[in-house]
Amino acid sequence: MTIFVISDTHLPVRARDYPDAFLKLLSDQDVVLHAGDHVTLDSLRRLESFAQVHAVSGNMDDYGLRKVLPSKEIIELEGHKIGIFHGYGPPWGLPSRVKNEFSQGEEKPEVIIFGHSHSPYNKTHGSTLLFNPGSLSGNLFGGKSYGILHLDGEQVKGEVVKIS
């Protein structure tokens, strides 16, 4: 199973559509995890026409999107618990704030997918992988990226892929 991870697409505000290089990779058998800031319900529906999508809302999403998406979600894929949350506040301290969102209760995911900063982040904190794929629409420095989550038995690894 290929698990693509994206965030901060900001369609159609920062880009008209998902990058062709990304869409060409997807099939209806693939899974995409989207960590928020789609912006419109239409952009989510477009993505769903290419792959299976698990998504949360972000701070820039319109009302229609926030009405249908949770702000936080935990899913299970291939026996691994994965938390998805957009994030909030300034970029410094963001990984800690995101991890704290999942520290309550018994549902502690082994992977937490997040966005908000538009900057890739791929580090393990304790036994939890915190993974931000960056932004498909780019960041302040122009870099566009997405992520791939590799779930190989007991091992979990994140990979950031830069695109032009």
* Mean pLDDT, residues 110-131: 95
At 106, the pLDDT band (50, 70, 90 cuts) reads low
Q: What total of structural domains would you count in the chain?
A: 1
pLDDT confidence band for 129 (50 / 70 / 90): very high
Structural domain of residue 14, as residue ranges? 3-163
Is the pLDDT score of 143 beyond 90?
no
pTM: 0.94
pLDDT of residue 153: 82
Percent of the chain with pLDDT over 90: 77
Distances (CA, A) of 108 to 20, 49, 84, 102, 126: 35, 31, 12, 6, 12
CB-CB contact of 150 with 129 (8 Å):
no
Report the CATH number at residue 81.
3.60.21.10
The mean of the pLDDT values for the chain is: 92
Q: What is the pLDDT of residues 16-67, one digit of tens each?
A: 899 998 999 998 889 999 999 999 999 999 999 999 999 999 999 999 999 9
Contact by Cβ (8 Å): 86, 35: yes
Instruction: Give the mean pLDDT of 69-95.
Output: 95
pLDDT confidence bin for 105, thresholds 50/70/90: low
